[in-house]
Amino acid sequence: MLDTNSPLFWQESYQNGRIPWDLGEPTPPFARLASSGDYPPGEMIVLGAGYGHDARLFAQHGFSVTAVDFAPQAATTMRKLNDENHPITVVEQDIFALDGDWYGRFDYLLEYTCFCAIDPARRGEYAALASRLLKPGGLYIALAFPIGRRPGGPPFVVQPDAVVELLVEHGFTLLHREFPHDSVPSRQKIEELIILQKRP
């Protein structure tokens, strides 16, 4: 059995069409945020970006977006779908291999279906990475998904309270949380929007 820490695991999922996390379009709660005017365009990183629907959404709203994924098919597809008028930077790399050149560069970190894909034993490592990538005052914007209590994965279930607690331990302050009214029907009440700010 392939390891979820390996790009080969995810490449096989893409090749076999087993990609239930992919909506085929930007997720509605992120579309609402991007068009709200409440978040000035800045430097954004999207971790585990998949086919890049959300990354391209924010680029179309004036953000400078770096999209990271280590599955070759995901990265290749993002490059093919790149909008030359609103381009994103595609990085084919393990998020945990991002080095110091990336640290402190970003105003925003966007996350959806990445946190639930990584080995739960690495969640502390992920929170530390998020803190390193963001500038002081930068925002962590995520849909915690899928909420639940069951063994196994991926996706590995999440508990939003635990996610918030983990990020607070790594230097963040909670700004906002909600069950989005505009989640796609199949994800109503099993995803929660959380927005935290990196403390100075």
Residues 86-115: tens digit of each pLDDT: 999 999 999 999 999 999 999 999 999 999
Predicted local distance difference test score (pLDDT) of residue 2: 56
174 is a domain residue: yes
pLDDT, tens digit, 9 for 90 and up, residues 173-195 = 999 999 999 999 999 999 999 99
Q: What CATH number did the domain enclosing 44 receive? A: 3.40.50.150
162 is a domain residue: yes
96 is a domain residue: yes
- Tokens 């635990």 correspond to 162
Sorting pLDDT into bands at 50, 70 and 90, what band is 22?
Answer: confident
Say how many domains are in the chain.
1
> Considering only CA atoms, which of 106, 97, 112 is closest in space to residue 64?
106
Domain interval for residue 122: 7-16+26-198
- pTM of the entire structure? 0.94
Using CA atoms, how far apart are residues 5 and 24, in angstroms rounded to an integer?
24
Predicted local distance difference test score (pLDDT) of residue 9: 80
Is the pLDDT score of 117 beyond 80?
yes
1 is a domain residue: no
21 is a domain residue: no
Residue 146 to residues 29, 167, 184, 188, 189, Cα–Cα distance (Å): 15, 18, 13, 10, 9
How large is the angle between the packed helices 53-60 and 28-36, nearest 10 degrees? 20
Percent of residues, the chain, with pLDDT higher than 90: 86
pLDDT, tens digit, 9 for 90 and up, residues 46-68 = 999 999 999 999 999 999 999 99
Name the E strands within the chain. 43-47, 64-69, 89-92, 106-112, 134-144, 172-178, 192-198
65 is a domain residue: yes
Is the pLDDT score of 1 beyond 90?
no
Is the pLDDT score of 37 beyond 90?
yes
2 is a domain residue: no
